[in-house]
Amino acid sequence: MTELLFQTDSYIKEFEAEVKEVNEEGVVFDKTAFVYTGGGLQSDTGMMETSKGEKFIVKEVISKGGKIIHKLSPEPTEQLFGENVKCIIDWESRYRQMRMHTALHSISGLLFRKYGAVVTGGNITAKRSRVDFEIDHLHKERVQEITKELEKIIEDNNLVSISFMERSEALKDPDLIRTKVNLIPESVKILRIVEIENVDRQADGGVHVRSTKEIGTFIPLKSENRGKNNKRLYFTLEP
Ligand SMILES: [Zn+2]
């Protein structure tokens, strides 16, 4: 099992690791700070360098068969097995993804508090993101209202904190029930909880910023009607 360094510290930009496996798809480390594709998040990219100075591009990181696989260019050879390597994450896009993710959770919290609306999906990229939620109307005034509420949350600079909780405890927590904690596979006994002070609380494995001010300026792009009770909002952030 690869230790996921980003789950306790999202701000690690460089780290050292040992290559534990080389397979036809890439390499597996003992630990990693690279975010992998999944759960609505995009894979990080970056660089890997061996102790002999050989450099590789980390093109994508995926989770497959319980392994976190780093796809490299050029393709790795068996000789990498057991190597100690240094990795650097492409921080610019990763940090934007962290800001987007905290924005999405903040929207989730405010939609529920203000409209009783539940978020049903989302997708995050460094460029733009989207959030899907259950609400009857999403007209222009409502998008403006959501934007205003979110701007206030950003201005308030609410802290984002990470904690860990037993599954049995989480299943009793109203906030976590609302965000469908019961859908997390039963094999997961300890849940990671991401809390945005006064705004949102949910079980989540992804990377976030430390406080809402880091989100920056929220810019709604367009909204879509995807059915009677299903609306989609695209957004981006400045700068
Ligand atoms: Zn999330």
Centre of ligand 1 to C-alpha 73, Å, is 29
* Helix, strand, or coil (residue 95): helix
- Tell how far the Cα of 205 is from the centroid of ligand 1, in angstroms: 7
Say whether both 112 and 229 belong to one domain.
yes
Q: Are residues 115 and 216 in the same domain?
A: yes
Instruction: Say how many Å lie between the CA of residue 173 and the centre of ligand 1.
Output: 17
**How many domains does the chain divide into?**
2
Domain extent for 234? 94-238
Residue 117 is classified by DSSP as -
**Residues 100 and 209 occupy one common structural domain:** yes
Name the domain boundary from 36, 55, 89. Answer: 89
The rounded Å distance from CA 206 to ligand 1 centre is 6
Tell the residue number behind the tokens 């508090």, with chain if given: 113
Task: From first to last of the 239 residues of the chain, give the pLDDT tens digit.
Answer: 899 999 999 999 999 999 999 999 999 999 999 999 988 889 999 999 999 999 999 999 999 999 999 999 999 999 999 999 999 999 999 999 999 999 999 999 999 999 999 999 999 999 999 999 999 999 999 999 999 999 999 999 999 999 999 999 999 998 898 888 888 889 999 999 999 999 999 999 999 999 999 999 999 999 999 998 999 999 999 99
**Is residue 53 domain-shared with residue 16, that is, in the same domain?**
yes
The predicted pLDDT at position 157 comes to 98
Are both 78 and 111 inside the same structural domain? no
Helix (H, G, I), strand (E, B) or coil at 200: strand
Amino acid 175: pLDDT: 87
Of 25, 55, 89, which closes a domain?
Answer: 89
Asked if residue 196 and residue 112 are part of one domain, the reply reads: yes
Asked whether the bond before 220 is cis by omega within 30 degrees of 0, the reply is no
Report the separation in Å between the CA atom of 49 and the middle of ligand 1, taken as the mean of its atom positions.
Answer: 30
Q: For the whole model, what pTM was predicted?
A: 0.95
CATH number, domain containing residue 62: 2.40.30.130
Supply the pLDDT for residue 37: 94
Are residues 118 and 188 part of one domain?
A: yes
Residue 108 alpha carbon to ligand 1 centre in Å: 10
Same domain, 116 and 32: no
Task: Say how many Å lie between the CA of residue 35 and the centre of ligand 1.
Answer: 13
In angstroms, the Cα distances linking 196 to 23, 186, 189, 204 are 39, 25, 23, 12
Tell me: do 173 and 153 sit in the same domain: yes
- Among the three residues 89, 119, 138, which one is the final residue of a domain in this structure? 89
Q: Which CATH number belongs to the domain containing residue 191 in this structure?
A: 3.30.980.10
Phi and psi torsions of 237, nearest 5°: -130, 150
Residues in the chain: 239
Extended strands (E) in the chain: 3-4, 14-22, 27-29, 31-32, 46-50, 55-64, 67-73, 84-89, 119-124, 129-133, 160-166, 190-196, 200-203, 217-225, 231-238
Per-residue model confidence (pLDDT) at position 179: 84
Same domain for 216 and 126, yes or no, is yes
Distance CA 43, CA 58 (A): 10
Mark whether 28 and 108 lie in a shared domain: no
